Structure 1
Amino acid sequence: MDHSKRQTKPRLLLMGQRRSGKSSITSVVFHKMEPQETLFLESTTRIQKDTMNSFMDFQVWDFPGQLDYFDPTFDTTQIFSEIGALIWVVDAQDEYSDSLARLTTTIINLQNTFPHINVEVFVHKTDSLNEDYRSDIFQDIVQRVGDDLNDAGFINPNVSYHLTSIYDSSIFEALSSVIQKLIPELDVLQNLLNTLINNSGMTKAYLFDILSKIYVASDTRPVDSDIYEICANYIDLTVDFTDLYNYPRHNPKILGEQMEEVESSMTFEDGTMVYLKEMNKHLCLVTVIKNKEAKDKKGMIDYNVHIFQEALKAVFDRAWEKNQIDGGEDTRTAKAVTSSENEEDGIAPN
């Protein structure tokens, strides 16, 4: 995949009050810092800009909490014109009235000038709150922001809310939801993943960005946090194992045609199988399989995943080279091939 064909890099803006957890989020998700180590991070005093070279090259701007972004001394057009999403981080463990006031002011200003911007509210640091209190805070924030925006004349603004913490998978799931809104090919990817799991006896499938463990797409079955964590942890396990043993060998023997991408699978004691296949240097498919008949026919799974990989490449080639999406043919082709394969093996969808 030639990333030079992309004309712009979507920009994620992280905003919120001081010490709300913005820098901790970027450190954990994009720089692989352990959550406990973020306790020693200093407060951000200037705009921090990171460029993520991954499946979808994008920029992350971390804004200091004390800045007034709409002050005349700031070039708001430069800041917001190429934005993909604005992520407003609210510290759920602190008094958040001022944060919500600034949030609504920001949304109102953006609605007047840049109404297309997705506003994502992360109700953050919820890991130490009991479930009832966490739910009450979440509903209170949603209600107060909604009421303030309605009073200002904005009905149903483009605002989404997420409960997040860096100590569990919730921050990765929230950012996955944010990133997916920036992918024009999302519907096509979901259709391809639906086709794959329905014809391969899979329970759930994710298409992950390897660098960040953000999933850029999944099938349309409900997301299960436990299954997500299994898949995300398996990426770490596979990458660590590959780095450990992928050393240069003297006079290596090539036994026939070799596959360039990493492939790995593991079966747990309860019979659950996790299957990983690298799609390219940025993306990998990770799927959970609980169907015993499917697990016993790994050759069929390998073949179906290969068809999915070819369709995936065709989708992105069209999107980047022609700036248009036409994945229907690939979806129909993948479905026809995998359906034919299943009929021969006598396997039913899970």
Structure 2
Amino acid sequence: MSANLRQNKPRLLLMGQRRSGKSSITSVVFHKMPPRETLFLESTTRIQKDSMHSFMDFQVWDFPGQLNYFDPTFDAEEIFSGIGALVWVIDAQDDYTDSVTRLTASVANLQDIYPNINIEVFVHKIDGLSDEYKSDAFQDIRQRIEDELNDHGYKNPPVSYHQTSIYDYSIFEAFSKVIQKLVPPLGTLENLLNILVNNSGMEKAYLFDTMSKIYVASDTRPIDMEVYEMCSDYIDVILDISELYSYPRSESTRLGPQMVETESSVTIHDGTMIYLKEMNKYLCLVSVIKHPDAKDKKGLLDYNAHIFQDALNEVFARGWEKQENSEAAKEPAEH
């Protein structure tokens, strides 16, 4: 990709009160830190900026909870101009009154300048709550936010809500939903996955970002968290094995010749097959097949996955070409 495109990275801004869990989230999701080690993280005192290089480059900015970034002493344009989504983290185990008030004030400020911004509310640390209280707290937080936004004059603002914990897969599921809103060809990817699933006898298929285990897209069948967890765990298994028996990977460009891809499958105790195929150096397809004859249809799976891979790379190639043409059109012509 061109230098201009690489600089044009959507930002995910993580905001919320102090000790709400923002730094723990980024450490677990984007830096592979074991959740229990996050107990020793110090509170964030300045903006932490991480650049993620994957199928789509983006930035994650972790903000200290005690500062007001709408104060005139801060450059709001610099902070919010390239924003892809605002992720507001609320500690469900703490008194969240102040957090809700700050969130609604922030949304009110942003709606005037950036009305189309995605607001993602992570009701976090739900692992420490009983099932009954977990549901009550989630509904209470959601109702308070909606009531306060209505008081500010905003009807149906673009706010989404997620229950999250770093001790299970809910945080990866939530970030997957956030990232998917920033993927321009999402509808096309879902259609391609639907075609693959329907023609291959698959129960469910995911297109994962290999390193973060955020899924970029899935077919439109309902998501079963047990199936999702199996697929996510299988990526870890393959990555661990690949580190032991790895092969040299060329630094070819994304649109250049494809490298030799990893491909693997395993049949577990109940006859379910988990099938993984690397699409390119950023993305992998992971699917679950519960048909009893799945292991005898491996050739068909490989063929269909290869067809899907060709279509996938064509979709992204056209997306990059469109972006590059758009960038070129903005540059002054030479005489």
Query: Do they superpose with TM above 0.5?
Result: yes
Structure 1 segment 244-283 matched on structure 2, within 5 A:
244-246=244-246, 260-283=260-283
Q: CA deviation at 1:293?
A: 3.3
Aligned to 1:178: 178
Contact 2:261 2:280 in 1 (8 A): yes
CA 1:77–1:259: 2 relative to 1, 3 Å: closer
- Counterpart CA distance in 2 for 1:308 and 1:243 is 26
Aligned to 1:308: 308
SS of structure 1 residue aligned to 2:212: coil
Aligned to 2:161: 161
Q: Could you give the per-residue CA deviations for residues 281-308 of structure 1, whole angstroms, max 9, x where no partner exists? A: 0000000000123432110010000000
CA 1:247–1:283: 2 relative to 1, 3 Å: closer
Q: CA deviation at 1:269?
A: 0.8
Q: CA deviation at 1:105?
A: 0.2
Sequence identity percentage: 70
Q: CA deviation at 1:3?
A: 6.8
Contact 1:194 1:219 in 2 (8 A): yes
Contact 1:86 1:119 in 2 (8 A): yes
- Counterpart CA distance in 1 for 2:2 and 2:224 is 32
- Counterpart CA distance in 1 for 2:75 and 2:259 is 50
Question: What are the ranges of 5 or more consecutive residues in structure 2 without an aligned counterpart?
Answer: 249-257, 325-335
- Counterpart CA distance in 2 for 1:94 and 1:205 is 37
Aligned to 2:254: none
Amino acid corresponding to residue 318 of structure 2 in structure 1: R
Find out whether 1:100 has 2:100 as its counterpart: yes
Q: CA deviation at 1:224?
A: 1.1
SS of structure 1 residue aligned to 2:237: helix
CA 1:247–1:220: 2 relative to 1, 3 Å: closer
TM-score by length of 2: 0.91
Aligned to 1:344: none
- Counterpart CA distance in 2 for 1:232 and 1:263 is 15
Q: CA deviation at 1:166?
A: 0.2
SS of structure 1 residue aligned to 2:128: coil
Question: What are the ranges of 5 or more consecutive residues in structure 1 without an aligned counterpart?
Answer: 249-257, 325-350
More displaced 10-residue stretch of structure 1: 117-126 or 4-13 = 4-13
Aligned to 1:254: none
- Counterpart CA distance in 2 for 1:187 and 1:5 is 26
Aligned to 2:43: 43
Aligned to 2:77: 77
Structure 1 segment 1-350 matched on structure 2, within 5 A:
2=1, 4=3, 6=5, 8-246=8-246, 260-323=260-323
Contact 1:200 1:294 in 2 (8 A): no
**How many pairs align?**
314
SS of structure 1 residue aligned to 2:293: helix
More displaced 10-residue stretch of structure 1: 285-294 or 298-307 = 285-294
Amino acid corresponding to residue 287 of structure 1 in structure 2: S
Q: CA deviation at 1:259?
A: 7.3
SS of structure 1 residue aligned to 2:126: coil
Contact 2:204 2:288 in 1 (8 A): yes
SS of structure 1 residue aligned to 2:101: helix
Q: CA deviation at 1:151?
A: 1.2
SS of structure 1 residue aligned to 2:208: strand
Q: CA deviation at 1:323?
A: 3.5
Amino acid corresponding to residue 6 of structure 1 in structure 2: L
- Counterpart CA distance in 2 for 1:51 and 1:322 is 23
CA 1:3–1:218: 2 relative to 1, 3 Å: farther
Amino acid corresponding to residue 116 of structure 1 in structure 2: N
Contact 2:51 2:59 in 1 (8 A): yes
Contact 2:54 2:282 in 1 (8 A): yes
TM-score by length of 1: 0.87
Amino acid corresponding to residue 155 of structure 1 in structure 2: K
Contact 1:289 1:295 in 2 (8 A): no
